[in-house]
Structure formats: C-alpha cells, structure tokens
Structure 1
Amino acid sequence: MTTDKVAMRDKAVPLSLGTLDDLPETVVRPNYDRKSLSAGIVHFGVGNFHRAHQGVYLDALMNDGRDHNWAVIGASVMPGDARVRDLLMKQDWLGSVTAQSATGSDARVTGVMIDYLPPADSAAILATLEHPEIRIVSLTVTEGGYFVDADTGLFDDQHPAIQADVSNFDSPSTVFGLIVRALRTRRNEGHQAFTVMSCDNLPHNGVVTRRAVVGLAQLIEPALAMWIDAHSSFPNGMVDRIAPATGDRERSLVVDKIGIGDAAPVFCEDYLQWVLEDKFVDGRPRLEEVGVQFVDDVTPFETMKIRILNGGHALIAYPAGLLDIEGSGEAMAHPLIRGFLDKVELEEILPIVPPVPDTNLEDYYKIILSRFSNPHVVDTIRRLCLDGSNRQPKFIVPSIVDRTTNRQRVEGLALASALWCRYCFGKTESGAIIEPNDPSWDHLVERAHAARTDPGAWLGMRDIYGELAHVMLFKKPFTQALDALWAEGTESVLQRYLDGTLFALPDHSHR
C-alpha cells in the first residue's frame, strides 16, 4: 500500500451520526435532524439497489426540507441479512452511496433509514406493519421472489412456502404472508390499508404483487382478499440504476478515494430513473420534486427498459461468460460482443418496442451504451448471467414472440438463446467449470447437454419458450446457431453473424 493510501486510511472518517460534520467537504450528507424523522415506509430487501435508488430519492427530498414523516424502516425475511443489519446498526443506519460516471464520482451519505428490524423476526415485523403510521410497504425481493407459477405466469398458491404460511398464519415467514397478516389486523382494528409498492425489475410489478398478496389472502379468508383488493393499492413502477454488489474493492475505494469508513458502502452508476403510477391509498412522498416521473400507465417505459437495457445485458453476458470475461466493461470493449449487441438491438429489438412518451428510443439506446461502458461501474458477467430461467422469458423471449408473430426474422435473438444454452452446458470454451448460476441450474445443464445433439430438448422448456419450439422462424436459426457454436466456437460464430454468413449458408443439421 502506498504512503498516500495509508494516510488516507488513517484520515477516513468512521461513519456515524456523531461524525457527519467530520466527513470530507465533497460528501453530501443529511442536512436534516434525524430526530425530526418518523417512519412512513417499511422496505423489504435493504440491498444495494434499494439504497442507491429509493433511498437516494428520499434523501434528496428530505434534504430539501420535505416529507420528514416518510422515513424508512428496513425489514427482511432472510436470516442471512443479519450481517448487513449489524454493520448498518453500528453506523446509526447511515450508509454511503457513491455515484460514478466515466469522468468522476459523487458521494453522499443517506439517513432516511431510521431502523432495521431483526431479519426473519416475524413478531417484530408484524408489529411494525400493523402500526397505522406505516402507509407504504415497498419491496426489492428479486425478480424470482414473487411465487409466480412458471407454467401459468400467475401466483403459485401451491408453493411450499405459501402453504407453510397458510398453516402457520399467526407467524408467517414470507414477505407476502407478513403483508397479508398485517393487513388483516389493520382491517380488524379499523385502520387504513397501506400501499404495497414493488421496486423489483419485472414487467407489471404492481400487478404481480397484487396477485401474490390477494392470492394468499384468498387462501386464508376470501372476505379479507376482497377487502385488500378494494382498500390497498399496488402501483406499477419502472426502476433503473446499476448498483453492483459490494466487495473488497468497494470497501477499499470508499476509504481510499472518498475518505469514509463505511463497512457496507454502495457504488453505483450516475444514471437514475424511476417511473411510477400514482396509485397510493394513504398518501405518498412528493417524489416528483426530486425527479420521479409519475404517469397513468408505466407499461411503455417498462417495456422499453426491459427489452433494450435488460435484454442488452443478456446479449453481452453469455458470449462474455463463454469467453471467460469477468466484467461488463471488458465485454463492451470486445469488438465482436459490442458488434453483436449493436446489431441485435438496432435491427431486431428497437424496431418493435412500442412508442414511449417523450422518449427517442435511439437516444435511449445511446445512453445505455454509455452506461454499459462505464469503466467505474464494474458489473460482473456472472451476475448478468444469473437466473436466466427467470430473466430470459421476460427480457428476450417477448421480442422473439413479437417478431415471429409479425413474420419478422429473429436470427440475432435466436443466437442469443443459443449462447444461453451453450453457457448452461456448464463449461466455458477454455474448459473452465461454470459454477451453478440459476435456481434451476441442474435442470438447465441436463437440457443443455441433451441439446448438443438435439436442440429441441432446449426449446422444449415450455415455461421459457411456450410455443416457440414449433415456430420455424425461430427454431431453424436457433438450431443453426447452436450447432455452429459447438463446431466453431463463440468468436467465430459472432464474426459470421456480423458479416452476414452465419445464417446465409444451407442448414445441414437435418433436423
């Protein structure tokens, strides 16, 4: 370690309420008295995204002297979150968020979270949710945390965790069990219901959340389900900010570059967006004053983001994973991967994204290219490859369905699916083992091995592809692409896709 870094570490200010005035002058810090805050929100899932997104918006609002009655109480149903809770408790629930652009960074300390309930403590969580001052319950529980049946796309009321809550409703263990139990108490005591606001990255997240809450309530008491459906609300929202996981690199950076001793720092990109339907049953913070866009229908915005940005992540992730590339920046610097991204986005995805109010899609895509290439926001390729069985049906398959329905070509999207299949074989092109990276990893590996000689084995996953296995506009280029990946390797296939020869040659697969 250099002398300068040692000196910086010695000067780093340990984060707490008592040291806010000692922070470096460049760091934005709460200018509100924490004693002036009262809780209005319980948030499940106090991870990096929540702290870099909702937490930053609320902090900016409170720094403007507004809405001090909308502070956040953190919650979690995951016992493993106790470690992060302990770290934040030692810092008086304060946390640093450093937004990084290609040319610089801006750090702030947020103070909107005033408590964090012990994870998986059902009694403590219920007592808080039942209190009338809680008017919003917000969620970042990951895309896969909503108990959606893979076959129907609806709430899976037979899931073992849901059935366990039904059997033990006085002490539920899922987020939705806790919400329903608290709403029953509030109804019985004559209190107002609260708004349930998903901040997860899935289409129509409010609709999905309503199905989970009302669906579970239906199993408990049909009249309760009707009351919740009528008296609570579930706004759809589109959220956007890249906030990679915190590791040793980030813990060192916050000390060496910012001068803050934060045991759980968050680093994120400088881009920030939140589009939200204005459907709240008991008030809300005035978030429009700090940049949140309130709309009647969030659908066009979420479709744009999910297909262009999240679909774009999938396009770079799997070829990069096969080539042993570890970070998103390195993937974007690879000319074949960058060329693949551009060609598929511009020729197959953007042309079928429905119009978005006050938005130019090509300009939006240019912003995404800049974000993906940000050298200071290092998203790991492994994270971008994570949970493909849940993400592919949301981020890639809808574009394939729309194009094939209109008899439009899908060679690039078919190649993207083939790259995912090849990744799930479980070995990179160098022979390195790909460790399990999906809740259904064993099943995917089995399918990918079968698909090496029978691509239909992969397309036969109806929960992913539906009827696409029988659509020749997709099936034929998928088969050609997968065969070529095994015969030639990723770089050769990408090059031939870009120069127009991959799908121009006859299909000799005889399938």
Structure 2
Amino acid sequence: MSDSSLAPRLSAAHHRVRLPYDRSRITPGIVHLGIGAFCRAHMAAYVDGVLASDPSWGIIGASLKRPDTRNALAPQDFLYTLAVRSGAGTTTRFIGSLLDVLDATRQRDELLAAMIDPHIRIVSLTVTEKGYCHDPATGQLDPEHPDILHDLAHPDSPVTAPGLIARALQLRRTAGICPFTVLSCDNLPANGETTARIITGYAALQSGALANHIASEVAFPSTMVDRIVPATTDDDRKLVCEASGLWDSWPVMTEPFTQWVVEDHFPNGRPALEPAGVEFVNDVRPFELMKLRMLNGSHSSLAYLGYLAGYEFVSEAISDPAFGAFIHDLMTEEVMSTLPGDVGKLAVYRDALLERFRNPALRHRTWQIAMDGSQKLPQRLLGTIRDRLARNASITRAGLGVAAWMRYVTGTDEHGRKIDVRDPLALRLRAIAEAAGDEPAKLVDGLLNVRDVFGDDLPRNDQLRTVLTDHLLSLFGLGARETARRANLAPAL
C-alpha cells in the first residue's frame, strides 16, 4: 500500500496536526526501552496528557532488536495516531510525547548517552517477558542466556535491557549523576521487584560495588498496566488515514479502557500523571495479581482454546457460548477465590473484562495473544493453580487453559492446520510433542518437566497431572469447544 497515493504524510509541520501544547518546548525526561505498540498506546498517551502543564517529560524511545519503529516514525517527526475503537466507532488523536526513537543495534552509544543525561529521571521498559533474560519460574536472571553472556563479555556495548540499564547506572555513578528510577511496564509479577532482582543480579556478575549501589540507591517501583493493543494492520492504516486525512505509517489501535496503577516511589521526580488518570499507590501487588489472573489468565486461556477451534479474533471466540461461559466461570469459580479483597468489586471487574473481550472493533488476534506462552503461563495461570492446589480446590478450568497451551504447542490445530508457534522455547516444545506422538499422557509428562515453566513442584503433583491428561484426551478427541463445555459443568470445590 503506498502512502503517497492516499494522503499527505503525517508530520509536525502539517496544518492538520494540532496538539494541546507547543511541541518545540518539550524536553526529554524519560527514556523508554522497547518502544512498541503497547507503550505508545499506554504510557506515551498518559504522558502526552500532562505535557501542557509540564513540558520536561518528553520520551526518547529505543528499539532493542529491530529498526522498524524508528524507520516508520522518523519521517513523520515521531508523531503517530492513537485510534480508540469500540462498537460505537473510532476516535483518533495525535500523540506528540515521543521525541525520538533510537535503534539500539546501530545507535547504542547515542542511547547510553541519553540514559546518562541528568535530565533523564526515569528509564522505563516494555520489553516483554523474554526481554528480561530471566527464568520465569524463579524470577532470577539467567546467567547462561546468550545475550547476557554477550553483555558480560562486552559490558561497554550491551544488547539487553539489563545490560543497558546497568551500564547507564554505572556511568551515571562515575560521573556523580543521581540514578534514574527504573520503571517496568511489563506483565511480570511484582515487576519492580523482579526488575531490581534481575538488574542487581546482572551487576553483581560484573562488580559488587555496582550491585550494592543499585540495591541501595536505585528505585524500582512496581506497576500494573492494562490496555488491549492489537497489532496494526494495513486496513487499520487506511481507516486512520480516512479519519485524519493524513498517512500514518504506524498508528496504534486500542480500546477505550485503560488503567495504570503505580507505586509512588520516584526519588528523582516524576510527572504529575494523576490528572491523566494514573493511580499512585503504596503497594501495587493486589491490583497486579487481580489483573494477571483475571485478565491475562483468561485472555491466554481463551486465545489457545479459540485458536484451536478456528477463531481468529478474541471477540469471535468469546461470542461462542461454550467459550464465553467457560471464561466467565474460570474467573468466577476459580480465579476470584485466590485474590485479596482490597482491590474493589471483582464481579464488576469480571464483567468489564468480558465486555472488553466482546468488543468487535478491537480485532485482537488469538494467535498474537498465544505468543510466548512459556513465558506467560507462570504468571497468568500457574499461580492460580498453585493456590487452588494448596486448598485442595478444583483446578478444572485453570487446568484447561494450561492443557490448551500444551495442545497448541504441538504445532497443529484441531482442523489439521499448521500452527506458527512463536515462543522462546518453541524448538524444545516441538521436540517434546514429537517424542510424545499421539499419547497425551506422554505429552503431559514431557511438558511438565520443562522446569523453566512449571518449576520443581508442579511436575510432582498428581492432581494436576491427571487434570491435564484428561483435558488433553478430550482436546484431541472432542475438540476445544466441547472440552470447554464439559469443563464448565464441573463443580467448584
């Protein structure tokens, strides 16, 4: 699709672009690692809402692996369109908080220079679970990760988020500059604590003094982020162009709902984001647990089941009565009982989630949500399962979410079509599936023994093993829809 054949290119100079602040006055205060669609629909949008009152919080983004985002946004002055879609229609808004995007593969020195600038008071990141180079089952740095080994051997030219952050903090310390706050916006349990543990652990492999400095002087507030952001398509670009009259190479599509809960610990300052809707709290863990288990756990379960059954989009899958009832009862009968009571009305939150999943304008692909399952299961489903097992309670529904993942990673759906399984452990998982052949019990045994996912405790649990084997027998024999229907008939204990 050619942009020139459609409309003028989005740019700061175009008369159609109007922002509620003078962009020439905006200066950077944040460096964000992993400037993907989620950050642009979430954090960058919140920050954009406060720049009129405080222009010192512009964002310098960085792509750690590929130059795609820079290549798309540089010709349009790093402006982009935020398109909010619902059943009632689509609204668009230009976002100007992103001042630059650096390609870390070619601009590493520029990125480190930005991170040690005293005006940068926050380094935030959305690098997905795998970008932390850690063991998801333990939350510890994986010292044998190939990229970590590279960074340890070449500390002046790091390629990972832990390596970049540790190097920048070291350079700031040497120069006598106050450390920045490290703000994780990824779906990790206690993401601030996890990030602190990973970065301090990485630093300790280089220098005990640096590790002690980071542990004592650097703040790592935890956050809970929530907004569904599907991948942008060419049809989305055309829709945005028709709405604004300008061609945007990489607009961001999202939903009306957005939530950001942040622990208020920023020794070097922060933007006053409360008017934009950010909730600052002393402890984010109850909110994070609610979101991980209710939203993310049900989202993943729906994605695996829906994809196996042939549904391309979440809204299609949740509209299937069998899957809609299953997801409702997964949250109601199993997940909600594991959550603290101080996070508000869980039934109201559940109903809001179901409504979001049904949004027909938000074409969120089940395949996209199914990516990186080995990294996501520990946080999204296995915590619920562990808590339920400790109470001798039923894990039928949460177990089906895990079994659906096991069926998915075999690489073939129930219609015999090949699945493009995107996962850091994809080759290992596929080898296990091939060795198991058509025997579900062997598949369960093989996959449960992936300690990176299931740890040391769950492979020894006979109740879980039985539930997973029974579900897999049904998934292979009866299909995802009927298996979900039958699981929903199980009593909640």
TM-score (norm 1): 0.91
Alignment of 1:63-462 (within 5 A): 65-78=52-65, 80=66, 82-120=67-105, 121-150=107-136, 152-357=138-343, 359-449=344-434, 450=436, 452-454=440-442, 455-462=444-451
Amino acid at match of 2:121: R
| Superposed displacement of residue 192, structure 1 | 0.7
Give the Cα separation in 2 of the matches to 1:75 and 1:266.
17
Larger radius of gyration: 1
CA shift for structure 1 position 127: 1.3
SS in 1 for 2:342: coil
Distance 2:142 2:337 in 1: 34
**Deviation string, structure 1 residues 181-230 (Cα, Å, up to 9, x no partner):** 22112111111111111111111111111122212221221111111222
Deviation of the 1:88 alpha carbon: 0.9
Q: Is the 8 A contact 2:92 2:244 kept in 1?
A: yes
Cα–Cα, structure 1 residues 453 and 175, in superposed 2: closer, same or farther, change >3 Å? closer
RMSD: 2.1
Residues paired across the two proteins, number: 486
How much has 1:346 moved relative to structure 2? Answer: 1.1
Aligned to 1:480, which of 466, 470, 483? Answer: 470
In structure 1, the residue corresponding to 2:134 is in which secondary structure? Answer: coil
Describe the shift of the 1:188–1:10 C-alpha distance in structure 2 as closer, same or farther (beyond 3 A): closer
Give the conservation status (yes or no) of the 8 Å contact 1:244–1:377.
yes
Equivalence for 2:33: 44
**Partners of 2:179 and 2:387 in 1: CA distance:** 39
Q: Which deviates the most, 414-423 or 35-44?
A: 414-423
Supply the AA of the counterpart residue of 1:431. G
Encode CA deviations 1:280-300: one digit per residue, 9 max, x unaligned. 121000011211000000000
C-alpha displacement at 1:154, in angstroms?
Answer: 0.9
Quote the offset at 1:418 in angstroms. Answer: 1.6
| Aligned residue type for 1:263 | S
Deviation of 1:48 (Å):
0.8
Within the candidate set 21, 24, 39, 1:32 is matched to: 21
Mapped partners of 1:160, 1:145: distance in 2 = 12
**Contact 1:93 / 1:111 at 8 angstroms: preserved in 2?**
yes
Q: Is the 8 A contact 1:42 1:74 kept in 2?
A: yes
Q: Rate the CA distance shift 1:184–1:496 in 2: closer, same or farther, 3 A.
A: closer
Task: Give the deviation of 1:324 after TM superposition.
Answer: 1.7
1:18 to 13, 29, 38: 13
Partners of 2:71 and 2:137 in 1: how far apart?
40
**CA deviation digits over 1:396-436, x for unaligned, max 9?**
01101001101111111222222211111211111101123
Shift of 1:101: 2.0
**% identical equivalent positions:** 39
CA shift for structure 1 position 144: 1.4
- Of 468, 471, 482, 2:461 maps to 471
Bigger Cα displacement from structure 2, 428-437 vs 442-451: 442-451
Post-superposition offset of 1:151? 5.5
CA contact (8 A) 2:263 2:282 kept: yes
In 2, distance between residues paired with 1:485 and 1:187?
Answer: 56
> Match for 1:209: what amino acid?
T
* Inter-partner Cα distance in structure 1 for 2:358 and 2:76: 33
Displacement of 1:354 in angstroms is 1.5
Distance 1:363 1:419 in 2: 27
Q: Which runs of 5+ in 1 are unaligned?
A: 2-7, 24-28, 504-511
Contact in 1 for aligned 2:302/2:327 (Cα 8 Å): yes
